[in-house]
Amino acid sequence: MKVAVVGATGMVGEVMLKVLAERNFPLTELIPVASERSVGKTISYKGQDYKVVGLADAVAMKPDVALFSAGGDTSLEWAPKFAEVGTTVVDNSSAWRMDPTKKLIVPEINANELTKDDKIIANPNCSTIQLVMALAPLHKKYKMKRVVVSTYQSVSGTGVKAVKQLENEVAGIKGEMAYPYPIGRNALPHCDVFLDNGYTKEEMKLALEPQKILSDTSFSVSATAVRIPTAGGHSESVNVEFENDYDLADVRKLLSETPGVIVQDNTDTNTYPMPIYAHGKDEVFVGRIRRDETQKNTINMWIVADNLRKGAATNTIQIAEYLIENKMI
């Protein structure tokens, strides 16, 4: 099993390598891939050193699977080239997510849609993954009508430059800015670029991707995405209106029985999800589950996950694991 990690020297790429090792992914040959400026550098995996190669060389090596986290433009250009030589690509960028010919996969929800013929598979947006992990079982039972979500997203979702900006601000050092404003002691209602409709790309991903993952356009999602000065982990305040009424105890039970979801919901002991505790974990944490007393059949929840793991690297690797287990690679 030849595995290429495209974007191996980036923030998500580094987490991918860590997760591959932790999960004992069945690879026999690792091909770390990065841009020309990183070619020739050395990365370590399970105590062994590997030389970083360029994209063209990696394609020539015909890996069985390529895990991409190198940006949309790179994915658009190179994913088809890998697919042409028989490689199955699992792509973490936004490049293929809304392409009607490509599957958008969260393994716990819709991995059964995958076939051997899917050579380019899209990994959803980090905020979308944790949202649908909690919503999918509830939608199945109570039928969602409308979701309103406000996100509180870590600077790590922007990348190394943003993490450095926050570290510099905390240390009182003047440095390069990833954002148009300071992020320390601040909250920016500005994730990704603004579109003509006044929403950001991030907000529209949250609006559209859940419908594709759940293969259902009967519900709608309205989102506001906010960047906050946390180093890791995304949080979401979620309000869901259902067609059918629900029992709070049943909701908690249903979520606690959902693979990959952990319920942390006891206000008596101040138990609720927080990014500081989600750090380094693969599960999605749900708490502050309560009835919306202003509207019929409506619930409020707080959802937290490590955006670099389940929101990116782990979900990508879980897709590859599913393909291997089901002999699709």
Altogether, the residues listed in the chain come to a count of: 329
* CB contact set of 224 (below 8 Å; sequence gap of 6+): 149, 150, 151, 189, 203
Q: Which of 139, 190, 191, 234 is catalytic?
A: 234
Q: How far is Cα 19 from Cα 155, in angstroms, rounded to an integer?
A: 21
Q: Catalytic site residue 190? A: no
Q: Which residues pair with 32 in a beta bridge?
A: 5
Closest CA to 314 of 93, 12, 46, 3: 12
Place of tokens 């693969």: 282
Q: Which of 126, 139, 190, 279 is catalytic?
A: 126
Which amino acid is residue 206, in one-letter code?
L
Here the contacts of 198-201 (C-beta below 8 Å, separation 24 or greater) are 199/223, 200/225, 201/94
Q: How far is Cα 218 from Cα 109, in angstroms, rounded to an integer?
A: 18
Instruction: Copy the structure tokens of residue 20.
Output: 């591959």
| CB crowding 286-309: b at 16 or more within 10 Å, else e | bbebeeeeeeebbbebbbbbbbbb
Closest CA to 223 of 291, 146, 310, 144: 146
* CB contact set of 284 (below 8 Å; sequence gap of 6+): 129, 130, 133, 134, 260, 261, 262, 303, 304, 305, 310
Q: Catalytic site residue 234? A: yes
State residue 151 phi and psi, 5-degree precision.
-105, 155
Q: How far is Cα 207 from Cα 128, in angstroms, rounded to an integer?
A: 9
CA dihedral 104, 109, 112, 117 (to 10 degrees): 10
Q: How far is Cα 207 from Cα 197, in angstroms, rounded to an integer?
A: 13
List active site positions.
Answer: 126, 234
